[in-house]
Amino acid sequence: MSTRCRFAPSPTGQLHVGGARSALFNVLFARATSGKFVLRLEDTDRLRSSVESEKRIMEDLRWLGLDWDEGPECGGPGAPYRQSERLSLYQDALAQLVSEGLAYEAWESSEELMALRKEAEANKTSFLYRRRDYSPEELQAFEAEGRTPVLRCVGSSEDIVFTDEVLGEIRVPAEDMDDFVIRKADGFPTYHFAVVVDDHHMGVTHVLRAQEHLKNTARHIQLYQQLGWEPPKRGHMPLIFSMTGGKMSKRDKAKAARQMTRESGRELAELAPLIGMTEEDLRRFMKKKNDELSTAEALANALGVDLPEIDVIDFRRSGYLPEALVNFLALLGWNPGDDREVMDWAELVSVFTLDRMGKTAAKFDREKLEWMNGVYVRGSTIPRLVEAMKDYGQFNAAIWKDSDDAMLSSIAELFRERATTIRSLEAQCGWLFQRPSEYGPAKSIKKFLLRNEGQGLGVLSALRPELAQMASWDEEALESVITDFSQRHTEGKLGLIAQPLRIALTGGPVSPPIFSSIALLSQEETVARMDACLAHFTE
């Protein structure tokens, strides 16, 4: 059978970068083995699942270039690809287990289960549910109360043993296997049951996912055995930790927001109305009573700071290129067997194998990601960067929002050598769209404008009418006029002209090549900025 991998997110929020890496490894393995990649949406959590989340997850996957062969919006032989549309398959499998005495109804309320857990905790033992016998009177009372039973499967009587493609042999003792829920009181299957039925009917041959799911695998293999099906091969990939240790989590945003709020020194009474909250609710957030993402984002906006990127959309908004993020994620827990780090998609597919997957947690080095993204920025074609600049503008009030493709191309060409992200590229070119309101640093002003009785200001004053009278305005014409001016006024020392010009046009002594920089400004704007600079230092 050909390889069939799947990625099966729950549409209850944004796509976490860890989930994106799981999807990536499944796509890479499918492509490397000439197999198929299946996308399935596990939407049995009816309270939290949403169509909006589905759309965001699929958009994020497509942005990363992780297209699926089968799944929502493209169909396939395993359709439908939403669990909420596959209930008849689950009901058939549930009925099979019940008829064979391998599943039964359990009637305990949430409060009763909690009491059992507390009792086990008091006895310093793990809580493992085992089948309980109910008297006719108890069942009658449960029904009178309006209780709806869940369905539990009978725990395995034998050790569960399987070979993990990454971790090797795994053994879970039978005494650690409980009678777990496979159908909830609302009639929907639990994750553990639905995933087994779906993987079987969709012909999944390999389940590749993070090690945090390892504890669930024994349950899934037990269900395969009870249903008489052949389980797929398993591979559990290392977790992703932050550089300070600990799993990367969406809670990191709340943690960062609290820290930034404390460091700001702002009073909660002042901040609360700015973010549409009561002071009491904000205090609850600061005391870690909740980790609401909306509160964290509102605080970050009020303080003018950025939260750490955790979800794929965060990296997109920050101006990372998807190809760079994919390359970086591929190296978290896997290596190509040599020192290669920058690899395009074709190269990743050509060398990807499961035997080079690591077993220990990988650290998410943000500095390395930024470095790698810079490599991709500098190596991209200008049209590709223009596309990325436009994408960045969808999520940010980009300074170039009203610029045409020709201007965007010029910006990309001029600034990409020093850029690591599209955001950093934007930060460099801000002077193109906004006149300097101040000039500095003081040391540069003194050196390039005021020294030798204001030599630099004199150069600007003399050059100004020559630039104002130019008949054509492009890089070649500017270079010719300014070079000729240099021969006549500064003995050919172009730096005595370039630095005063940079300060007048950008506010400081650093910019891309001077002729290219001036060419991006209009003739009128260039002369106006020179006039403003002269007026600033001579009035």
Q: Which 3-state string (H, E, C) describes 102-171?
A: CEEEECCCHHHHHHHHHHHHHCCCCCCCCCCCCCHHHHHHHHHHCCCCEEEECCCCCCEEEEECCCEEEE
What pTM value is reported for the model? 0.92
Q: Report the candidate in 50, 46, 67 with the shortest Cα–Cα distance to residue 11.
A: 50
> How far are the Cα atoms of 109, 418, 422, 427, 438 from residue 434, in angstroms, in the given order?
65, 20, 18, 12, 11
Domain boundaries along the sequence of the chain:
86-237, 251-309, 442-538
Pick the CATH number of 442-538 from 2.170.190.11, 3.30.420.40, 1.10.10.350, 1.10.10.10: 1.10.10.350
Nearest residue to 187 via CA among 316, 91, 287? 91
Residue 147: phi, psi to the nearest 5?
-70, 150
CA nearest neighbour of 254 among 302, 222, 299:
299
Q: Please, what is the Cα angle at 455 between 453 and 456, to 5 degrees?
A: 130
Helix (H, G, I), strand (E, B) or coil at 206: strand
The CATH code for residues 86-237 is 3.40.50.620
What is the spatial distance between Cα 88 and Cα 316, in angstroms, rounded to a whole number?
A: 39
Sole residue written with tokens 């990363």: 64
Secondary structure of residue 208 in the 3-state scheme: strand
Spatial separation of the C-alpha atoms in residues 328 and 531, rounded to whole Å: 48
Residue identified by tokens 């990127």 is 309
What pLDDT shows up at residue 263?
A: 94
251-309: CATH architecture:
Orthogonal Bundle (1.10)
Q: Are 382 and 408 in contact (CB under 8 A)?
A: no
Question: Average pLDDT of each block of 10 consecutive residues along the chain (539 residues)?
Answer: 94 94 98 97 88 96 98 95 95 97 95 92 90 93 94 95 96 94 94 96 97 93 97 95 84 91 94 93 92 91 92 97 98 95 97 95 96 98 98 95 95 96 96 94 95 95 97 96 96 94 95 93 96 93
Q: Measure the CA–CA gap between 456 and 503, rounded to whole angstroms.
A: 10
414 close to 512: Cβ distance less than 8 angstroms: yes
| pLDDT value, residue 337 | 92
At residue 5, the pLDDT reads 98
- The two structure tokens encoding residue 170: 């795994």
Q: Residue 199: which of 5, 396, 53, 442 has the closest Cα?
A: 5
Whether the Cβ atoms of residue 354 and residue 335 lie closer than 8 Å to each other:
no
Q: Compute and round to an integer the Cα radius of gyration of the chain.
A: 31
Q: Closest Cα to residue 513, out of 530, 528, 495, 526?
A: 495
Six-digit token string for 20: 């994106």
Rounded Cα gap, residues 4 and 208, in angstroms? 11
Query: Would you state the pLDDT for residue 293?
Result: 87
Note whether 320 and 421 are within 8 A (CB).
Answer: yes
Which amino acids are annotated catalytic? Answer: 250
